[in-house]
Amino acid sequence: MYTPTIGLEIHAELCTNSKLFCGCKNDPNEKKPNSLVCPVCMGYPGAMPYIQKEAIKKVLKVGAAIDGKFADFTEFDRKHYFYPDIPKGYQISQDKYPLVSGGIIGDVKINRIHLEEDTAKNIHIDSGESLVNYNRSGVPLMELVTEPVITSAEQAVSFVEEFQLILKILDVSMARMEWGEMRVEVNISVSNDKKLGTKTEIKNLNSIKVVKKAIEYEIKRQTELLEDNMKVTQETRGWNENKIKTESQRKKESSHEYRYFPDPDIPKFKLSLIEDFSFEKIKKNLPDLPKDIRNNLKQNFKLKQNDIETLLHNTKLLKLFFDVVSIPKFKKENSQILVNFLTTDSIALIDKFQNLFYTNINKDVLAEVVSMFTSNEISSRGAKDILVYISEFGGIPALVAKEKSLYQQSDEESINKLAEEIVKENKGVVEQIRNGNESVFQFLIGQGMKKTQGSTNPKLLKDSLKKIIG
């Protein structure tokens, strides 16, 4: 039986104001090509790089979060290779002295985290020509390398998702894979004994689904080669989404082929001499990490696991949840109802109104909508309509409910009259209920809600219908 051995290399662009070695704005998604550049990021001869402190601190935050060890001495190196996206002919990276060593995420041990500059972006067009956009050149790029201890695609995917969450919670990277802000490379080998097999590297995987599919394919491909008494070639491969397979790109370089040597233009330094880089100081100021948030939401607020993960993957909604439950008058037992509004209606509204939602829907608005719903003043449909209106136009829930006639009708006489009308108009359904088929009862309630445009209290209507039908 062949067993896979997998190690991951994850690159994440850091959210900093400027690039790593110059003062150019860090905005790799700027639409105008080659507009955020200077002699440093264009690699002009004689241009002198200088370190931006903000990028180093963000890497150290990640290191503290995973209980890694901060370097005492560190330096930056030149990593040589020739490609249009590297105008200098080398990339400034770190070789022997990474900023962080060790650490653990879940059950996966970390080898190192280092900092380097991102490359420019090559754009290949149909005519066969290639264009280069240097806006991304010099953007601070953090690379995390795991130990080769992962044994399945599922374990690898879980790790990537958890690391992505950590980056977002720490506010060090947006980590949007679809935007190229986080990229995954997989080193993988298979073997039927205790020795490691020949590994291949799969470059630049840009989604969680692709990571899973690429690993599963490569395990199958290597296993079949070995079973046919053929050799696995050490090489770099890419993922072809159209063919759903990995394909050979080039022979895998060895470390010595990059001709690493310390960059003479960037001073070496000792982290221990810089107060802002103190492990204790950074660790003390870390926010709650995903594992802590999960425990809190489950134990203290009794939320469902799926809802917890949804909140964790949307940090703005997560913050909104905690803002609402921190209001003194908010009842803790209504937390799940609050989450229902956040993870269903609100996500749809964010897609529609984007930033307007967060401008107009604040903690007080949400707390009031939940209170109105739990006290049966409005229905779930009414709550949704209020949130839709306020997302677009702003307003106060109580006033919107009054203006749009969204308050539930609880007048007993009116509801009894409505129930009698429904029974008269749906004699066939009523007969089914009297014959024991109560599954169609909801149809009658739906008719009542339709007649009153959702303004009737459904519980009171149901009680009235039951009395009349008997």
Q: Roughly what angle, to the nearest 10 degrees, separates helices 363-374 and 380-393?
A: 160
Confidence band for 434, pLDDT divided at 50, 70 and 90: confident
CB 29, CB 176: distance < 8 Å: no
Looking at residue 406, its pLDDT comes to: 87
For tokens 């109104």, the residue is 353
Across 165-172, average pLDDT: 96
Mean pLDDT value across residues 173-199: 93
Percent residues over pLDDT 70 in the chain: 99
Q: Is the pLDDT of residue 125 over 90?
A: no
Grouping H, G, I as helix, E, B as strand and the rest as coil, residue 108 is strand
Tell me, what's the pLDDT at 252?
60
Q: Inform me whether the pLDDT recorded for 399 exceeds 70.
A: yes
Residues 227-282: tens digit of each pLDDT = 999 999 999 999 999 999 999 987 765 666 889 999 999 999 899 889 889 999 99
pLDDT of residue 155: 98
CATH of 412-469 given 1.20.840.10, 1.10.10.410, 3.30.500.10, 3.40.50.720: 1.10.10.410
Q: Mean of the pLDDT values across residues 211-232?
A: 96
Whether 44 contacts 21, CB under 8 Å: no
Q: Where are the beta strands (DSSP E) in 118-220?
A: 121-124, 130-133, 140-146, 182-191, 200-205
Q: Which residues of 362-374 are buried (b: 16+ CB within 10 A; e: fewer)?
A: ebebbbbbbbbbe
pLDDT, residue 169, reads 95
- Per the prediction, the chain carries an average pLDDT of 92
**What's the number of CA atoms in the CB half-sphere (13 Å) around residue 456?**
26
pLDDT in the model for residue 13? 97
pLDDT digits (tens, 9 = 90+) for 60-111: 999 999 999 999 999 999 999 888 899 899 999 999 999 999 999 999 999 9
Q: What mean pLDDT comes out for the span 314-335?
A: 94
Summarised one tens digit per residue, pLDDT across range 14-60 is 999 999 999 999 997 899 999 999 999 999 999 999 999 999 999 99
Domain extents in the chain: 3-281, 290-403, 412-469
Rounded (10°) angle between helices 441-451 and 412-425? 120
Q: Which residues contact 166 (CB under 8 A, 6 or more apart)?
A: 62, 65, 66, 105, 289, 290
pLDDT score at 1: 85
Tell me the C-alpha distance between 221 and 228, whole Å: 11
Q: Please, which pLDDT band fits residue 146 given cuts at 50, 70 and 90?
A: very high
Q: What is the pLDDT of residue 126?
A: 84
Q: Does 204 score more than 80 pLDDT?
A: yes
The mean pLDDT value for 173-197 works out to 93
- Interval 21-31: pLDDT, tens: 999 999 978 99
Q: What are phi and psi of 279, to 5 degrees?
A: -60, -45
pLDDT of residue 256: 66
**What is the band of 418 on the pLDDT scale with cuts at 50, 70, 90?**
confident
